[in-house]
Structure 1
């Protein structure tokens, strides 16, 4: 199976044009950005974490974003994706980044050196980052927060908590992050299916652990290629080996808070 990837950014340690100091109010003063943004230092911390693919740094980045905002969800999604890659022994290298007129352009990372993505149109409120676009696509059109869903459980065997779904504007691949906790037996999740109305997409292997030992917990990524024409309100089903048996797990891409 071919390995799928998702791109992310890293912000170099430099001031954003138009700002007076590292600790000044309302950072990122370049054109196309609005609202009461965090300071330049905090924005640097956020995007540097995005490019680092380090779960701890990405946890810190979530504190810079407004609670429940797309910007916070984006950092949380990347934290789960990164942790799954690390658990699979396929940690992701930093991306190369440069500043552009309306934001930041990052090249490399999980993709080839010449594969680039642009983050622009930064928005903020009360000194916290709230939103931005990814290669011209709003996060509202790419990211679904699933954390409010109830976990899927089988007592003593497993717990599956849906976390986030994200469709890459670059590749069109839909990535769905879940956290799986094993009970008394080992678990082995398998690629699944994504169904949206008349569209069915077969999942493929990506950076994600192949098995979870008893008592352990790990993010797992389900990848569905060529999903650019599918809606983001379909259903996910995947198989999972549970000890010596096999079970089917399913849930919808629905944010209960929406």
Structure 2
């Protein structure tokens, strides 16, 4: 569904990405692994058309979005949901209101349909009983599940996750990863998982691209990561977690 072709991005003299190429297929979970500041989250912004590369192309379902204007990107972005690292929930809205906000603001559908979709995501995320709670009264893991439900509610084809387990305790992290792993069983969804935690990659990702100093140094099925000989990959396999 998503393809980056020889994408280079610079901010002034600083090179963030250098000739990066990636293919992200439908109904697959692709991880992008690397330390903080290496450009992982930048890839998500490029995929959404929020920033433009200096060179190279970005294709979504075969459509080149590289030179598209903001007004042209809406139907492209509708194909994808995003779960931000900080969740980006509305603090003054209940969980149900957060989940239904996009539908009410952007789609002309009956309120009964909005409420049905909200209930569906409440159940999928395991948040029954918290419908009227405010985000401030939820744990970090529960907030993340609300953010996932909100990303799913308009039936996208792909979900983009920016550090989905960062700052969570092990139990909450496992719940989030199980939820991500269940996406393929829900409407054949795919996902892009940006992370610095290698155990998350092994738990849910079908394939992984390792980003190091602006370049992709590995891109293959996750099981083959153990066979990689690059010194950086050998070091992260032993450390298990990259420096944030």
**TM-score range normalised by the length of the shorter chain:** under 0.3
Structure with the higher strand share, 1 or 2: 1
Q: TM-score, normalised by structure 1?
A: 0.27
Structure with the higher helix share, 1 or 2: 2
**Larger RCO (CA under 8 A, 6+ residues apart):** 2
